[in-house]
Amino acid sequence: MTHPISFVSLGPGEPELITVKGLKQLQQADIIYCPATRNKQGTSLSRAADIVRALEIDETAIHCFMLPMSKDRTEAWKVYDTLYYEAADRYRNGQRIVIVAEGDAGFYSSIQYIYDKFTKAGIAVQRTAGIPAFIAAGALAGLHIVKQEEEIVVIPGTPSADELSEKINAGYVIVIMKLSQCVEAVYECIRRHPQAQFHYFENVGTDKEYYTSDKQIITQKSFPYFSLMIIQAV
Ligand code: SAH
């Protein structure tokens, strides 16, 4: 008997923010694949595995795979392909396989690449939804993220200052993911739009969690990978 390969969304970082359904999947798993990265000192870090461990899941089920962080994704696709073949073998042997992702596994989540590959190969998959980081960020700051007739746009850290300005002028609520990639554009827009509110978040749901809407502090900060921004063009 085979079991669908289960993609479980872990939520933003705080272990309790996983869903009950996701937790059950972890508890029943024979193997849980967690993405990890290496820091400059060569130490392996896995925020995903930390969340799983905090949920008191059997340590022997946890299996980290190393994702290169470079912008060129070629190496990452190779890692995903290796994971795909290994998981497909285990699937055929009847194991219960879970692959985890932080936040929601279908929201700026490259792991969906393997999900699509399983689907194409006729391997059964399922995905459990999770709380994306920007929703957890809104709760942390007590924001009414969008209200009444407002519209929201979620963008990766790709805009120039002009492109971001245009969206602020259009009155959108803007969520910027991967904020570390557009530091200068954000600084410039803070200067150009004194009426707008800029909510800055980093490491939401972890013990390094940080929030400020103080423009002066924001423009003196460097933005780490796990940071995002919500802009409200009041
Ligand atoms: N699947 C995730 C998004 C992954 S893309 C989700 O649903 O939220 C990676 C980006 O998400 C990071 O660059 C950062 O902008 C944001 N992010 C993820 N976790 C975060 C956290 N705990 N705190 C702040 N930003 C976070």
CA of 132 to the centre of ligand 1 (A): 7
Strand partners, 174: 153, 231
Given a cut of 80, whether residue 158 has pLDDT beyond it is yes
Distance CA 105, CA 131 (A): 9
Q: How far is the CA of 62 from the centre of ligand 1 (A)?
A: 22
The answer to whether the CB of 175 is under 6 A from ligand 1 is no
Of 204, 208, 213, which is closest to residue 232 (Cα–Cα)? 213
Looking at ligand 1, which atom is closest to the CA of residue 176?
15
| Average pLDDT over every residue of 13-36 | 97
Indicate the range of 38-42, 45-49, 52-56, 170-174 predicted with least confidence: 38-42
Domain range annotation of the chain: 5-128, 133-232
229 residue type, one letter: M
Residue 160's Cα: distance from chain center in Å?
Answer: 23
Q: Answer whether residue 42 shows pLDDT above 90.
A: no
Residue 114, both tokens:
């393997």
Residue 118 neighbours by CB distance under 10 Å: 20
pTM: 0.94
Quick: pLDDT tens for 124-154: 999 999 999 999 999 999 999 999 999 999 9
Task: Please say if the pLDDT value at position 208 is more than 80.
Answer: yes
Taking the CA of residue 180 as reference, the ligand 1 atom at the shortest distance is: 13
According to CATH, what is the number of the domain 5-128? 3.40.1010.10
Asked if residue 13 has its Cβ within 6 Å of ligand 1, the reply is: yes
Residue 123 is predicted with a pLDDT of: 97
Question: Domain 133-232 classified CATH 3.30.950.10?
Answer: yes
The Cα angle at residue 110 between residues 105 and 116, in degrees rounded to 5: 80
- Does the beta carbon of 7 lie inside 6 Å of ligand 1? no
Q: Convert the pLDDT of each residue in 69-95 to its tens digit.
A: 777 888 999 999 999 999 999 999 999
Domains 5-128 and 133-232 share a fold: no
Q: Is the CB of 227 under 6 A from ligand 1?
A: yes
